[in-house]
Chains A and B, each alone.
Chain A
Amino acid sequence: QKEVEQDPGPLSVPEGAIVSLNCTYSNSAFQYFMWYRQYSRKGPELLMYTYSSGNKEDGRFTAQVDKSSKYISLFIRDSQPSDSATYLCAMSAGTDSWGKFQFGAGTQVVVTP
């Protein structure tokens, strides 16, 4: 069983809708959580970074962490066609992990005009 599970999609939404993405994980030691966006044939780029539980907002993006349920979410408000990409979650256990993250396989999002 993978440590990090993510629905591969594709998730298709109309422009302006809220996109809801999530990952579940099994390792209770994870405490650093990240979301990356990856456009087709490009490298991933960091969107959001959170530590432990709680919410974090950055513009149209909101990241939530629920450590008790081992579940993290990313919400994209007022979605745009430019948000069409694959979204990867990543997580890590602690400061001695030298930036080594466990990545989810990614969810493909398609925002239709």
Chain B
Amino acid sequence: NAGVTQTPKFQVLKTGQSMTLQCAQDMNHNSMYWYRQDPGMGLRLIYYSASEGTTDKGEVPNGYNVSRLNKREFSLRLESAAPSQTSVYFCASSPLAGLGNEQFFGPGTRLTVL
């Protein structure tokens, strides 16, 4: 039981390049989330998917797109990377959306945009 897995672990991009961060969970959870973590800022929600087939914007969605490919997988795409998107990205999942449902986090992807 791997929990939440993320690929890649590290990535360096040049400004303007695109990439997709992959996330998968094997806990049969309905809800999935993408966060970014920056020094001094805490975790900020980028997008979330309350259930398969739905996605919604979080606090900082600009410059990102997401795809809930199936119940297990939730990807985050940067179409034209900018230095401001240098961050650590965490995917999380929970049995259901809403409070009282613990979110389980992946190990993170460390992204640097030059």
Contact = CB atoms under 8 A, between A and B. Distances in A.
Contact of A100 (B4, B42, B48, B102): B48
B44 to A, nearest CB: 7
Interface stretch (B14-22, B62-70, B89-97): B89-97
B2 interface: no
Given A97-B99, A99-B101, A4 B33 contact: no
Contacts of A46: 102-103
B41 to A, nearest CB: 6
B97 A42 contact: no
Given A42-B108, A99-B31, A105 B41 contact: yes
Interface residues of A, number: 26
Q: How large is the interface on B (under 10, 10 to 19, 20 to 34, 35 or more residues)?
A: 20 to 34
A95 B97 CA distance: 9
B43 A103 contact: yes
B53 interface: no
A41 interface: yes
Of the listed residues A94, A104, A106, the one surrounded by the most CB atoms of chain B closer than 10 A to its CB is A106
B102 A106 contact: no
A32 B108 contact: no
A88 B43 contact: yes
B42 A43 contact: no
Interface string B68-99: 00000000000000000000001010100111
Given A46-B103, A95-B99, A105 B42 contact: yes
Interface of A: 4, 6, 8, 32, 41-46, 49, 88, 90, 92, 94-95, 97-106
